[in-house]
């Protein structure tokens, strides 16, 4: 299972994983993304210990997911494990540490436009007018 230090916030998850996290927990959603992200799995109406979902997240979480999503094909997003999500987190962390766009681009081996695009999505620090 996922380590608590690697567990993202609900808002950081794509909608499908967010829904799974709401019913079965964030750890289960992240584990499912780690095990099957970028693929489809078929959720059967009846779960057993050999089912792919049960092997990934356990019987209790799998039953909660089945109740919430129903049986059928589930396209599992990559979620916080994909390269883009990891890159966005690294850019945000380096920006918060005061690195320049050029330093970030060179350190992460990405284009400076990528750094600018991700930085533009970051919340800007709001100035307090009463300070």
Q: What is the pLDDT of residue 87?
A: 87
Whole-model pTM over 0.85: no
* Helix/strand/coil percent split, the chain, to 5: 60, 10, 30
Q: Return the domain boundaries, the chain.
A: 4-79, 83-121
d(CA 19, CA 68): 8
pLDDT by residue for the chain (131 residues), tens only, comes to 444 445 667 777 888 999 999 999 999 999 999 999 999 999 999 999 999 999 999 999 999 999 999 999 999 998 776 777 788 889 999 999 999 999 999 999 999 999 999 989 888 765 555 55
């Amino acid at each position: 299972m996922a380590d608590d230090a690697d567990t993202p916030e609900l808002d950081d998850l794509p909608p499908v994983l967010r829904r799974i996290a709401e019913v079965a927990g964030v750890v289960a959603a992240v584990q499912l993304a780690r095990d099957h992200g970028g693929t489809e799995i078929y959720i059967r109406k009846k779960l057993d210990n050999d089912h792919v979902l049960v092997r990934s997240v356990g019987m209790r979480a799998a039953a909660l997911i089945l109740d919430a999503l129903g049986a059928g094909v589930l396209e599992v997003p990559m979620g916080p494990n994909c390269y883009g999500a990891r890159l966005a987190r690294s850019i945000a962390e380096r920006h918060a540490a005061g690195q320049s766009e050029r330093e970030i681009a060179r350190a992460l081996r990405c284009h400076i436009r990528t750094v600018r695009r991700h930085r533009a999505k970051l919340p800007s620090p709001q100035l307090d007018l009463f300070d």
